[in-house]
Chains A and B, each alone.
Chain A
């Protein structure tokens, strides 16, 4: 079974600075998807960024980018120019591709609580 590990329960960053959240995962599959979701105090889970494992190029979405290291099974999220609205719980998630029928659910890490310091 796949596992996702987020080793940083809490992180803080000064407003306008850059922060990196870590995520590692364990899988024997070669094709899969990785996601970062944020969950602000409203509890709404919001997609931040998605990475397909077969793509070597790291995904970017405005101020958010990932460092995907497939061999190391590492998937970190970098937030540049941090803003107060970035304060949230961030979850890393893994999803199998359909070749492994019945195992395509999202597997989440335990989350990293990000605090933005004004």
Chain B
């Protein structure tokens, strides 16, 4: 069974631009979570989606948004990029919401210049 896939793997943007990252969960998984990883802040939770509904949200500004489609694929969007948004963005999927183990994708490395 294929694992979690994320596209693109690497991205370079400039301040003020917006970016969309994509995540395809493991087949059959219905929950998708997003995390931001930086050297300074470590791993921080962004949001979690289940059945196309956002179930949980971390402490990030409104510039960070996401959505989930009926096939469980998810996208996250960051508008008006700032230098501090440079990070590894990890997507994780689980079979169901809340009680299941999360399996991670390889991440998208975003660099903001």
Binding site for B on A (CB under 8 A): 33, 35, 37, 42-47, 50, 91, 95-98, 102-108, 110-111
Contact = CB atoms under 8 A, between A and B. Distances in A.
| Chain B, interface residues (CB within 8 Å), range | 20 to 34
A97 B106 CA distance: 26
Contacts of B109: 43
Given A33-B99, A98-B98, A105-B48, 18 more contacts: A35-B101, A42-B106, A43-B106, A43-B109, A44-B105, A45-B90, A46-B104, A95-B98, A102-B55, A104-B97, A104-B98, A105-B45, A106-B33, A106-B35, A106-B45, A106-B92, A107-B45, A108-B43
B68 to A, nearest CB: 16
A50 B101 contact: yes
B103 interface: yes
Of the listed residues A45, A97, A104, the one surrounded by the most CB atoms of chain B closer than 10 A to its CB is A45
A108 B55 CA distance: 19
Interface of B: 33, 35, 42-43, 45, 48, 55-56, 58, 88, 90, 92, 97-99, 101-107, 109
B33 A105 contact: yes
A98 B42 contact: no
B42 A97 contact: no
B49 to A, nearest CB: 12
A110 B107 CA distance: 18
A96 B82 CA distance: 32
A102 B53 CA distance: 12
A97 B42 CA distance: 23
A5 to B, nearest CB: 12
B107 A43 contact: yes
B56 A104 contact: yes
A88 B9 CA distance: 20
Contacts of B97: 98, 104
Contact of A47 (B55, B90, B103, B105): B103
A110 B42 CA distance: 6
A95 B97 CA distance: 11
